[in-house]
Structure 1
Amino acid sequence: MALFLTKIDPTKPLIQQGPFDCILHKLYDSDWKQNLQDFASRNPNIPIIASPESIDILRNRISMLETVSKLKINNTGVPKQITITEEFVNHGGVVFKVYVAGKYFRCVKRKSLPDISEEKLVNLKGSLPFSQVSNLAAAGGGEGCKFEKTEMPPESLVKELVEGLKEELRLNLFNFDVIRDGKNKENYLVIDINYFPGYAKMPDFESVITDFLRDVVHKDINCGDN
């Protein structure tokens, strides 16, 4: 199947552009939302990836992580949230990034913030100012063979998270970051979710995105957005 990408002009009505088999976007302003709504009302069978309402959930950190809490999946959760920043959890200096494109997903590991001493965590009451987070990031984490030997999360757990988030968020293109709790290796915490992230670092991203768009056009994936 040949795939043709057409750049949309967001300053013009969508109904004056096209034709389109599906619309993929990452815009948020009210004019664009109205543009999408007008197009969808006249073209109810053309998938829109994704609905502004679903995207808005991920633009607020509290509502984003509340979504994870609703899933009630064993051995998963989120860090505690406070007004200034979130709880710092030692996690071995490794973050697992899960990329989702419809029914396809990939989990990869990346270096993250290094662990800090329990004594320092107690003094800081579990949270770190942003300036100290930046210093930790500069120090680097997950170094050497420790990073290489870090085991990936169970695939069954990753799949359960993927399916749960897809259903709760009503999104098909997103990624999320997971860390392993340093105090309990059986527990995993979701710390971030992003809509339509950069997929270039995901293995086989070109074929995955192509297959995803093909599935959307062929109605093999229900976007649930219009």
Structure 2
Amino acid sequence: MRLEQDEIVAFKTVGDGGGEGDDVYRKEEKEEEEKGAVSPIAVGFPLMRKLVVVGYALTSKKIKSFLQPKLEGFARNKGILFVAIDQNRPLSDQGPFDIVLHKQTGREWRQILEEYRRTHPEVTVLDPPDAIQHLNNRQSMLQCVADMNLSNSYGKVDIPRQLVVKKDASSIPDAVTKAGLMLPLVAKPLIADGSAKSHELSLAFDQHSLRKLEPPLVLQEFVNHGGVMFKVYVVGEAIKVVRRFSLPDVCKREIANNPGVFRFPRVSSAAASADEADLDPGVAG
């Protein structure tokens, strides 16, 4: 439930289970409040009129990496309370929440969220299912960047030339030739749903090996980038840029001497931070 300041009372326990000690403290506290000597406070929370309640539905892995004690303590100091959502109970029976923060996938969960948004328009859902659906597809995700036409803004912002292959791996070599794409090519799963498979990358060095790839996928021309990628996170007006290690640069000799498809499970992650790495001046600048 949402806690209002005038509903919050600090309780003190005596002994192992409280019990009689609780009753004594409540009686003493009531007497002191009637004298105007004590103001109710929240244990662990600063004085405020209302807490912001964030209901979260995250994977166990994400809870472990995201909901660190330091973050929860910082949130409490800011008047934010994290509450776990029980996915075995109807979402509408829980809360009330000010925000629903989730990192779950699947058609059933999406339907639950859409119904919840319809019946609880006052609650902010992060992220809305329709927005996630748009970013789950690498083709539509990258098309947004291309449509922005930022080439003449503050430097050049562009995406590699790409080709979407939804089925029939045997047709990939001809499709690549027709599209005029240059080797080597990076192959990425078309669907970016956060699963382990969606993070897998393949680097193809020759036309013949393209038949070994597994559609649906996106093929992109590989662009040397110093083995480092920049991830930009934006929340409102706050912008955070982090550096991650990426695929290493490739030279023409490697392309000629290394035919085949090379697979990489997951290249970029928080554990692959490159914040302290020495970068090529052309990349760092």
How would you bin the TM-score normalised by the shorter chain? 0.5 to 0.7
Instruction: Report what 1:79 is aligned to.
Output: 160
8 Å CA contact 2:225, 2:283 repeated in 1: no
Distance 1:145 1:47 in 2: 38
Instruction: Report what 1:67 is aligned to.
Output: 144
- Distance apart, 1:112 and its partner CA: 2.2
- Distance apart, 1:102 and its partner CA: 2.6
- Distance apart, 1:16 and its partner CA: 0.3
Instruction: Report what 1:24 is aligned to.
Output: 101
Cα-Cα RMSD:
3.2
2:177 is aligned with 1:96: no
Instruction: Report what 1:47 is aligned to.
Output: 124
Larger RCO of the pair (alpha carbons < 8 Å, separation 6+) = 1
Q: How many residue pairs are counted as aligned between the two chains?
A: 144
- Distance apart, 1:8 and its partner CA: 0.9
8 Å CA contact 1:21, 1:46 repeated in 2: yes
Given the superposition, is the C-alpha separation of residues 88 and 44 from structure 1 closer, same or farther in structure 2, using an over 3 Å criterion? same
Instruction: Report what 2:90 is aligned to.
Output: 13
SS of the equivalent of 2:223 reads coil
Instruction: Report what 2:247 is aligned to.
Output: 113
Distance 1:151 1:80 in 2: 20
Distance 2:133 2:277 in 1: 40
Given the superposition, is the C-alpha separation of residues 68 and 122 from structure 1 closer, same or farther in structure 2, using an over 3 Å criterion? farther
Distance 2:105 2:241 in 1: 28
Given the superposition, is the C-alpha separation of residues 58 and 99 from structure 1 closer, same or farther in structure 2, using an over 3 Å criterion? same
TM-score, normalised relative to structure 2: 0.43
TM-score, normalised relative to structure 1: 0.54
Deviations 1:68-121 (A, max 9, x none): 111111111111223353221111222112122232111122332221113555
Distance 2:238 2:148 in 1: 20
SS of the equivalent of 1:38 reads helix
8 Å CA contact 2:230, 2:242 repeated in 1: yes
Given the superposition, is the C-alpha separation of residues 27 and 110 from structure 1 closer, same or farther in structure 2, using an over 3 Å criterion? closer
Higher mean Cα deviation, 88-97 or 16-25?
Answer: 88-97
SS of the equivalent of 1:110 reads strand
Of 106, 109, 112, the match for 1:35: 112
8 Å CA contact 1:97, 1:107 repeated in 2: yes
SS of the equivalent of 1:109 reads strand
- Distance apart, 1:151 and its partner CA: 5.2
Distance 2:80 2:284 in 1: 34
Distance 1:109 1:100 in 2: 15
Q: Which has the larger radius of gyration?
A: 2
Distance 2:130 2:284 in 1: 32
Given the superposition, is the C-alpha separation of residues 8 and 150 from structure 1 closer, same or farther in structure 2, using an over 3 Å criterion? farther
8 Å CA contact 1:28, 1:52 repeated in 2: no
8 Å CA contact 2:99, 2:124 repeated in 1: yes
Show the 5 A alignment for 1:137-216. Answer: 146-147=278-279, 149=281, 152=284
Instruction: Report what 1:224 is aligned to.
Output: none
Show the 5 A alignment for 1:120-139. Answer: 120-121=254-255, 131-132=261-262, 134=264
Where does the alignment leave 5 or more consecutive residues of structure 2 unmatched?
A: 1-77, 166-212, 214-218
**What amino acid sits opposite 1:69 in the alignment?**
A
